[in-house]
Amino acid sequence: MHGLRGWMMVAAGVMLAGSVLAKDRWEKVADLSAGGDAKEVAISREVSAIRLELKSGTVTVNTVVVRQGAAKTPYTVASRLSDTAPSEIKLPAKASVTGLRISDAGRGLYAVYVK
């Protein structure tokens, strides 16, 4: 009986650790082509950070506007994405984000992740 209870405790701990890790994982929400008009990305989830990752070509991201319903918070990125390190925006607190509006330039592809 003690052995079974011990295994159940271990299984519960593994399940809890898995759920914590899942919350820390980046989720891809869009693959975008740079240039032209600003891009709209629908999110509808809680977000604590945004990651922009270069896939190919040359991409400069100017601003990312985080939408929370009617509220809009702009984040100035103003940098060229690098293939060696993604650009990350950490929000001041976890927020219920409804979408992103990304202003970019260049001729390349990049991915947008949230966590």
Asked if residues 49 and 95 have their Cβ atoms less than 8 Å apart, the reply is: no
Quick check: 108 pLDDT over 90?
Answer: yes
Would the pTM of this model clear 0.85, i.e. be above it? no
DSSP 70: T
pLDDT digits (tens, 9 = 90+) for 5-19: 655 555 555 454 444
Dihedral through CA 94, CA 92, CA 100, CA 75, nearest 10? 180
pLDDT for position 81: 96
On the question of pLDDT at 22 being above 90, the answer is no
Q: Under CATH, which number does the domain 27-114 receive? A: 2.60.120
Look at residue 17 in the predicted model and tell me its pLDDT. 46
CA 60 – CA 58 distance, rounded (Å): 7
pLDDT value at residue 15: 52
Q: Which pLDDT tens digit goes with each residue over 55-99?
A: 999 999 999 999 999 999 999 999 999 988 999 999 999 999 999
State the Cα–Cα distance between residues 109 and 91, nearest whole angstrom: 24
Q: Which helix (H) or strand (E) holds 28?
A: strand 27-33
